[in-house]
Structure 1
Amino acid sequence: MTHPLSRRSALLGAAAVTGLALRGSPAEAIGAEAIGAEAIGAAAFDDARERWVSLLVGGSYNPAYADKTRAVEGSANAVLRKMKPVPGRPSLWPDLPLGDPRTGNFNRAYNRMRTLALGWATPGTALHRDRQVAESAVRALDFLHEHAYHEGLDRRGSNWYWWEIGVPRALTDTCALLYDGLPKDRLHRWLRPLRRWCPDPERRVSHPGVVETGANRAGKAMAVAMRGLLTHDARLVRRAGDAVSDLLRTTRGPGDGFYRDGSFIQHDVYPYTGSYGVDYLESVAKLIAMLTRSPWEITRTGNVYDIVDRSFMPFIVDGLMMDCVRGRQISVQGHRDYHSGQKAVEAILTLLESAPERYARRWRPQVKGWLTRNQAVPYDTLAPLASIARAKVLLEDPSVPVGPPTTGTYVFADMDRVVHRRPTWAYAIAMSSERIGAAEAMNRENLHGWYTGDGMTYLYTGDLTHWNDDLWPTIDPYRLPGTTVDTRRRADLRHGKRRLPPTPWAGGVALDREYGVAAMKLIADGSSLRAKKAWFLLDDAVIALGTGIRASDGRRVETIVENRNTHDSHPPLAWGDGWVHLPGVAGYALLDGAAAKVTRRKRTGRWRDIDKGATTGGDDTPVTRLYTTILIDHGVDPRQARYAYAVLPGASIAQTVAYRGRVEILANSGAVQAIARDDLLAAVFWRAGTVETAHGPLAADGPCTLLLRRDHERVRLAVADPSRAADEVKITLPWRVRSVKDNDRSVRKAKSAIKVEVGGSRGHAHTAIVHV
């Protein structure tokens, strides 16, 4: 086996390797970085480091994972084979010139080194613990230290993340993986730049006034902890553990962090559970595992298990992460919903090793169900070897049943998201307000995400490839499901531009985790378009109502009922008077006599069209997908237009045709939008108003969302104020109120009505059982 760098020592000058011992260890640090090492002992550092390496590569070689091992070997060999160091350029690989840090090539270069180190450390590869490979890696790291990343360099306007998290994480992983093959005088030299660029998990060097939060703090904590273990500095490891312990507290906001209702915010105003939140969970889970049974064991971990339940479980669909909480990452070609889902599953598998039994008892069947049902993107094609091994143990454990899909209705009031989960389908609604941004477009990513926070709806069915099969570069970005839009042409979203619609109205309420209501006031960006939009989430349907739709810009306005990626063929379509049926997806029933417009088109796009980021940018290869679009045309400059339709996931043609009589629309006005079905009443009161029901008037004297379900003499009630404008709402039921039981302290009887103190509750629910 030959290795390009092993024949180029002259090019690297002082980078010649001496004293390489594959089974030795670098000498302990001297000076400040050695403080604490003697008291604790080198074995504690080495044990924790070895646990980290085992999380990356697993244990001994297992023939059952031969294909995965070959893939690791192939990637590492590709990195090694293409190395052609040119100091004068400078570059370590021809396609990654290192002269300008703004390209992000130095960050890519360290990621490649991590790939090479992974191949060297993985048992069963031809590169495993190979002396020449280690020599080549050492020379490459010396080259990068000299030309790309050291403490004396200037960022020159490049992305702070690469310097403070990206490279530190890749470099410490690389050093941990190669540890037994490193010469004693090199490791401390390569890690010295982290004293400048990543000295403290809580501090941002490039912006001294910024205190790190969420995923950024967790990522830095990983780098700081690994530097401490590699250099035998107990203070660094302890500092990292303390920073993570602080992260495990929930916040009341505003701003970054996890909230009690399960919301997760990053960059102050954006829902990011499925992107930054997953990075956070991965880092915390691995830190807990790495430091277990060590002098720095993280003991205050209880809240991380609650976070998994509250924040992640509702958004994972058979191992896929819902796009409604992935932010601008939806536009990144190399980060699909299954990548985010795999990282979340890997983190949960890691946490299972330390989770209290009351959590583990629920999680094991849940994870086994995801892994069993998702055959579209099998877990073992994505995950690292160590995680695949843990998944295999779980799958082969006969004592663990295959858990069913998550069901329930979840309102995330602190990030304007609502999720409705049924046994065979799921539905999510992405809203925005003066608190929550409509779409983020940093680093030239998510350039066409204009309407992703304007009431976009996400329907998940048995087709687990719908959202990840090149949808984002090919879907018409002006016609996203659930949205009401005018048809103006848009420029690419600008870096860092925040759009917080000037309205507080976004949110909803759930009843018994079985039914839900969501509502938002639409104030369109750069347009006079206004609308009030509501969704009623039932056991077999979603009822969507819109009212007050108006605009005056001389453009056509549309509401998009559906825009479905049907991949490479148009499935048979059935339609009739007021209904459309798309087999394998859903039936769509128009409930107010309006006509739907249906189009079937082939659309071609490129990932580069929506992501031109320096390190994430998509390629220029055209991709084509077929779409079925169902929309309601409100005409040019509508005045008080409305819509009412039902989405019936998995329904047959007969069920679709018959559905119009299954639900009663009680109101669809600027004051109230309300429906009734069987024993359920659901309403959005935009302001004080009354709606007539079969049992009598239902009234509220202020804004709220409301669900009522009657069972003989008992009425279960749930109320929330998404506007966050009222202190108290008085609700008059269609029945005489006798008493209030099992109620939150904010709910009380007031003569023949109910009064709910909603002030200060930040749009969260208030519940009670009312005897009538």
Structure 2
Amino acid sequence: MALPRRQMLALAGATPVLSFLPGTAAAATPPAEGAGPGPASAGDAADPYDSLLARAEQELTGGAFDPADPDFAAALAALEAEATTWWERLDTTQGRKALWADLSPASDPGMFGQSYPRLRTIATAWATPGTTLTGRGDVLDTLLEGLRFLGTVGYHPGRAETGNWWFWEIGAPRALMDTCVLLRAHLPPADLAAYVAAVARFCPSPDRRTNSPSLAETGANRADKAVIVALRGLLARDPAAPALARDGLSDVRDGGRNSLFRYVTSGDGFYEDGSFVQHGSVAYTGTYGSVLLGGAGQLIALLAGSEWAVSDPAVTVLYEAVERSFAPVVFDGVMMDAVRGRAVSRERSRDHHDGAATVGRVLQLAAGAPAGHAERWRSLAKGWILRNEATPYKGLVGIPALARAKAVLDDPSVRPAERPTGHVVLADMDRVVHRRPGWACALSLSSRRIAAYEAGNGENLHGWYTGDGMTYLYDGDDPSAFGDGFWPTVDPYRLPGTTVDTRVRADLGTSPGTSTYRPTNAVAGGAALDGRFGASAMELAAQGSTLRARKAWFFLDNAVVALGADITASDGRTVETVVENRNLHADGRQRFTVDGRRQPDEQGWRADLSGARWAHLEGFGGFVFPGPPRGEAAPTGSLNALREERTGTWRALNTGADTGGGSTPVTRRYLTLWFDHGPSPSSGSYSYVLLPGASAVATGVQSLSRPVVVVANNATAQAVEARRHGLLAAHFWQAGHAGGLYSSGPGTVLVRRTGRHVSVAVADPGRTGTELTVELPFRVRRVVRADDTVTVAPGGRTVLTVRVGGSRGHSHTADLVQ
């Protein structure tokens, strides 16, 4: 099976090689058996090319390993199966138009762009001990002829770029250089020179887009190109190219503007709050961010100890990203779909694949990082690997990544980290992550700053509502809810957490190139308090519709409260808010209970649940439907439930040249809960509470005891009070009062009282204000600590003045004493 284009790089990006940076504590540690080389030694100084090329080869084959080890035997069998498939189908006849019938003609960039990775797979099996292709002369001869064929009819310096630039500048050259590394001892010099010349033509440096020289490369694309340039230089024995690659990571030639080792405040790259953006406005930690981590990490490892070693002290930005950017969005080895962009539509690159690739890249980076970082990362990785029993890591990676993982798994001194807990607002990419010991919730928002979706080149055809407040709930007992056939089978008009105009939508991204959609709303984001609680909001401005809504979410220890207000539209179409659309997998019949009464479990069952106080879904948790705040009208619209079996195909989501899905039908069962607001609602509203992991009894008790009270849900403010936590949280859409709090304008406010201690968090997720005044509903005597943007006037009417201007939606906090 062909790999998607981003996974074409996984052999390099996710392949661990054990190498240590000079001057770190790890430098004194001997390499684990079979894990890879250490730094180039003084004895290698006379000819560093051979030693570094051997290191690059080991990144592809895994070096020495025990083929009798069941884990390695399985990985070896997987490599052999894929390589043998391509070997047996390879066309060697005279007059051929392509190496493989399904990749014809080979002159097309999409066809040679996919042919090189297949040759690389065969070459990897040829170079790896223990396969039926290992060391065979006929395989070597065929590989050499295949490279000559592609270099004659497809990829050579005499051609001009056509079609997708990526195949010319990253996809083909990377696979070609990897293959040359594996076959280098047998490549005729003239052939190698021709291949190096082709790569030099289309990927001369990491700095610029060759087909658009004024465009500077950023993020993952820069990291990919840096690795390609380094390999090209090593193969050509050209000392300038590895230096060019190393300096490309830091963008030396452009004064560091696009350095991968700097925090950005706009555009592509890592942000200090943990966000990662690519393509200017897309939340992309899980794919492009992971590829950047892998590419930069590989180059650091490859060049370590040589004259071209990466020595930029700002590399700490990459180290900090492991825990700041990646750890929050990996759940038990699964990469959250909220940060995977259009990759959610790739059948062969699902959340567990991208999660496994990221785990491998973290372990690769750990090999050369300072000891303190490396110890924490190995602990994180061990926890991720051990907890993912649904899609085990060992079955998702190749031999090199497996060697790195086994070294950690077999080391008793590495203790697996527990699931992280806490609340993180990734304001610079409009994402929110709330993590508890048994579950996690990710919120996917969008604004005029961050795209609601990206589509193009036939990918993500039905991603219309993925950035409209989609709510992903991850359960430790069911981590595959979104990876197990979810995207081809879910109703794309009913994604959890979204409020949707039910108009029929046309497929996205059917034309060449990628494009994004950014809505017109300003508000998207919220505030975090004590790293534990959060409140977020989004002003929905639906694409191609008059639908507008004010949506808010409140995140507590055991609950997520969702409120909607001021829901209006005038198009004559029904508007719905989706509470949940849970994947019950292929044959799920999970018990569904409403107000203590079990509901039918046959497919096609539908019911109007208006008036229900609570519901419970076995294996998921509970739902509570609270009454309206005092003095406000009851939520509008009917509450509905549906059990259905849905069938779809990955091809319907993705027709990409190298990522297109299969046409085999996929069937999954769903339980859907939604509010029907009717056609053209005016001032509609909703409220519901999600209780992940709660039992039916606990859900029923909470519906009666009301530990969380909705105190406002209107066009001015949406607010809740959690009395057990001493918490009052509100989002203000304009100046006004809620639960005794007062805000002078739009903003998010959380206040918590525990004994005499008071903690406050304030944010302006709309980024429209300069100063916000917040009046607390109780007396405060003194200030313990406050951000330098917060001024507190204690007293009977305690007032906080917060300078929110320029803070890009981030939280401002203070600690007070009553």
TM-score category of the 2 structures, normalised to the smaller one = over 0.9
The superposition leaves residues 534-581 of structure 1 with CA deviations (integer Å, 9 ceiling, x where unpaired) of 000001000001000011111111100000110122211111232111
Q: Secondary structure at the match of 2:690?
A: strand
Instruction: Using structure 1 for the length normalisation, give the TM-score.
Output: 0.92
The superposition leaves residues 588-635 of structure 1 with CA deviations (integer Å, 9 ceiling, x where unpaired) of 111127652110001111111111111111111111111100011111
The residue number in structure 2 matching 1:209 is 214
Q: Distance in 2 between matches of 1:259 and 1:544?
A: 28
The residue number in structure 1 matching 2:204 is 199
Q: Distance in 2 between matches of 1:41 and 1:167?
A: 31
The residue number in structure 1 matching 2:326 is 312
Q: Distance in 1 between matches of 2:334 and 2:519?
A: 29
Q: Distance in 1 between matches of 2:205 and 2:161?
A: 18
The residue number in structure 2 matching 1:136 is 142
Q: Distance in 1 between matches of 2:205 and 2:382?
A: 38
The residue number in structure 2 matching 1:533 is 551
- Residue 630 in 1 paired to residue 676 in 2? no
- Residue 555 in 1 paired to residue 555 in 2? no
Q: Note the C-alpha offset of 1:86.
A: 5.0
Residues 155-304 of structure 1 mapped to structure 2, 5 A cutoff? 155-156=161-162, 158-246=163-251, 247-300=259-312, 301-304=315-318
Q: Secondary structure at the match of 1:674?
A: strand
Q: Is the 8 A contact 1:61 1:123 kept in 2?
A: no
The residue number in structure 1 matching 2:480 is 465
The residue number in structure 2 matching 1:34 is none
Q: 2:799 aligns with which of 736, 753, 768?
A: 753
Residues 87-98 of structure 1 mapped to structure 2, 5 A cutoff? 88-98=95-105
Q: Distance in 1 between matches of 2:681 and 2:225?
A: 52
Equivalent residue letter for 1:71: A
Q: Distance in 2 between matches of 1:485 and 1:124?
A: 55
Q: 1:331 aligns with which of 342, 345, 351?
A: 345
- Residue 590 in 1 paired to residue 619 in 2? no
Q: Secondary structure at the match of 1:488?
A: coil
Deviates more, 1:749-758 or 1:477-486: 749-758
Equivalent residue letter for 2:131: T
Q: Is the 8 A contact 2:249 2:261 kept in 1?
A: no
The residue number in structure 2 matching 1:730 is 773
Q: Is the 8 A contact 2:591 2:617 kept in 1?
A: yes
Equivalent residue letter for 2:738: V
Equivalent residue letter for 1:675: V
Q: Secondary structure at the match of 1:56?
A: helix
The superposition leaves residues 377-398 of structure 1 with CA deviations (integer Å, 9 ceiling, x where unpaired) of 1111111201111111111111
Change (3 A) 1:736 1:587: same
Residues 393-412 of structure 1 mapped to structure 2, 5 A cutoff? 393-412=407-426
Change (3 A) 1:42 1:154: farther
The residue number in structure 2 matching 1:665 is 710
Q: 1:78 aligns with which of 57, 78, 85?
A: 85
Residues 248-647 of structure 1 mapped to structure 2, 5 A cutoff? 248-300=260-312, 301-461=315-475, 462-494=477-509, 495=511, 496-568=514-586, 569-576=588-595, 577-592=612-627, 596-647=639-690
Q: Which runs of 5+ in 1 are unaligned?
A: 1-38
Q: Secondary structure at the match of 1:690?
A: strand
The residue number in structure 2 matching 1:683 is 730
The superposition leaves residues 440-484 of structure 1 with CA deviations (integer Å, 9 ceiling, x where unpaired) of 112110010000000000000021221111110110000000000
Q: Is the 8 A contact 1:89 1:99 kept in 2?
A: no
Q: Is the 8 A contact 1:131 1:181 kept in 2?
A: no
Q: Note the C-alpha offset of 1:357.
A: 2.0
Q: Secondary structure at the match of 1:124?
A: coil
Q: Secondary structure at the match of 1:261?
A: coil
Q: Note the C-alpha offset of 1:763.
A: 0.4
Q: Distance in 1 between matches of 2:64 and 2:792?
A: 66
Q: Secondary structure at the match of 2:786?
A: coil
The superposition leaves residues 338-391 of structure 1 with CA deviations (integer Å, 9 ceiling, x where unpaired) of 111111011111111112122123222211111111111111111120111111
The percentage of counterpart residues that share the same residue type is: 47
Deviates more, 1:362-371 or 1:208-217: 362-371
Deviates more, 1:649-658 or 1:736-745: 736-745
The superposition leaves residues 159-217 of structure 1 with CA deviations (integer Å, 9 ceiling, x where unpaired) of 00000000011001111112223233321112211121000101111112210000011
The superposition leaves residues 388-414 of structure 1 with CA deviations (integer Å, 9 ceiling, x where unpaired) of 111111111111222211111110111
The residue number in structure 2 matching 1:48 is 52
Q: Is the 8 A contact 1:89 1:97 kept in 2?
A: no
The residue number in structure 2 matching 1:8 is none
Equivalent residue letter for 2:670: Y
Q: Secondary structure at the match of 1:681?
A: strand
Equivalent residue letter for 2:685: R
Q: Is the 8 A contact 1:314 1:419 kept in 2?
A: yes
Q: Secondary structure at the match of 1:114?
A: helix
Q: Secondary structure at the match of 1:236?
A: helix
Q: Note the C-alpha offset of 1:67.
A: 2.2
Matched pairs, number: 728
The superposition leaves residues 304-359 of structure 1 with CA deviations (integer Å, 9 ceiling, x where unpaired) of 11011111000001111000000000001111001111110111111111121221
Q: Which has the higher contact order (CA 8 A, sep 6+)?
A: 2
Equivalent residue letter for 1:759: G
Q: Distance in 1 between matches of 2:458 and 2:429?
A: 23
Deviates more, 1:342-351 or 1:249-258: 249-258
The residue number in structure 1 matching 2:119 is 113
Q: Note the C-alpha offset of 1:115.
A: 0.3
Q: Is the 8 A contact 2:204 2:229 kept in 1?
A: yes
Q: Note the C-alpha offset of 1:718.
A: 0.9
Q: Is the 8 A contact 1:40 1:295 kept in 2?
A: no
Q: Note the C-alpha offset of 1:713.
A: 2.0
Q: Distance in 1 between matches of 2:446 and 2:177?
A: 39
Equivalent residue letter for 1:685: F
Q: Is the 8 A contact 1:737 1:749 kept in 2?
A: no
Instruction: Using structure 2 for the length normalisation, give the TM-score.
Output: 0.87
Q: Distance in 2 between matches of 1:98 and 1:167?
A: 15
Q: Which runs of 5+ in 2 are unaligned?
A: 1-42, 252-258, 596-611, 628-633
The superposition leaves residues 730-761 of structure 1 with CA deviations (integer Å, 9 ceiling, x where unpaired) of 11001123222221100111363111110000
Q: Note the C-alpha offset of 1:70.
A: 2.2
Deviates more, 1:40-49 or 1:346-355: 40-49
Q: Distance in 2 between matches of 1:701 and 1:61?
A: 65
Deviates more, 1:755-764 or 1:300-309: 300-309
Equivalent residue letter for 1:112: R
Q: Is the 8 A contact 1:506 1:521 kept in 2?
A: yes
Deviates more, 1:419-428 or 1:52-61: 52-61
- Residue 740 in 1 paired to residue 783 in 2? yes
The residue number in structure 2 matching 1:703 is 746
Q: Is the 8 A contact 1:56 1:384 kept in 2?
A: no
Q: Distance in 2 between matches of 1:180 and 1:588?
A: 64
Equivalent residue letter for 1:95: D
Q: Note the C-alpha offset of 1:79.
A: 1.8
Change (3 A) 1:118 1:468: same
Q: Distance in 2 between matches of 1:351 and 1:100?
A: 37
Q: Distance in 2 between matches of 1:308 and 1:767?
A: 25
Equivalent residue letter for 2:734: R
Equivalent residue letter for 1:581: H
Q: Secondary structure at the match of 1:178?
A: helix
Q: Secondary structure at the match of 2:311?
A: coil
Q: Is the 8 A contact 1:172 1:227 kept in 2?
A: yes
Q: Secondary structure at the match of 2:100?
A: coil
Q: Is the 8 A contact 2:263 2:317 kept in 1?
A: no
Q: Note the C-alpha offset of 1:99.
A: 5.1
Q: Secondary structure at the match of 1:138?
A: helix
